[in-house]
């Protein structure tokens, strides 16, 4: 499925897996982007950022897109900002609890968004196009 490929691409973008997680955060983020992408079409990164802004993380999300320092985000903040159904779906796909999914997503989200927005703005096109640019 494309989610695994996207997880591998995100894992590569983020410098491989974590010490014990084997890229779990990247895979969860890929599943999240896939879930959001299937909801509204278009650019799933833009959709995710809109959901996070609507959920109260606009200022932090703007630091990830911008060219300055990225603000950290916590798992509970991610869980509060995302629709419960979306987070539950992603967690179920990964075989983890929603709390663990939110923690893993929070760990990789600032760096992933930063690297996916190198010009300080969300690029046009699909995420696969963006990740395959190199």
Looking at the structure, give the CATH architecture of the domain made up of residues 2-15+22-131.
Orthogonal Bundle (1.10)
User: Is the CB of residue 53 less than 8 Å from the CB of residue 59?
Assistant: no
What string of pLDDT tens digits covers the 134 residues of the chain? Answer: 345 566 666 767 676 544 434 458 888 988 898 888 755 456 888 889 999 999 999 999 999 998 889 999 999 999 999 999 999 999 999 999 999 999 999 999 999 999 888 888 887 776 666 565 44
CA–CA separation, 104 vs 100, rounded Å?
Answer: 6
The pTM assigned to this predicted structure is 0.81
Q: How far is CA 67 from the centre of its chain?
A: 18
Dist CA 7 CA 71 (whole Å): 23
Domain ranges of the chain: 2-15+22-131
Burial class (CB in 10 A: 0-12, 13-18, 19+), 9: middle
């Amino acid at each position: 499925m494309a989610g695994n490929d996207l997880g591998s691409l995100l894992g590569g973008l983020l410098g491989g897996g974590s010490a014990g997680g084997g890229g779990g955060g990247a895979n969860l983020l890929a599943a999240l982007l896939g879930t959001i992408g299937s909801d509204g079409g278009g650019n799933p990164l833009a959709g995710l950022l809109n959901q996070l802004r609507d959920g109260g993380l606009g200022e932090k999300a703007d630091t990830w897109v911008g060219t300055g320092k990225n603000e950290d985000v916590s798992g509970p903040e991610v869980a509060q900002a995302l629709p419960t159904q979306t987070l539950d779906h992603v967690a179920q796909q990964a075989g983890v609890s929603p709390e663990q999914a939110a923690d893993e997503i929070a760990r990789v989200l600032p760096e992933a968004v930063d690297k996916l927005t190198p010009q300080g703005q969300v690029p046009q096109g699909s995420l696969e196009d963006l990740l395959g640019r190199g």
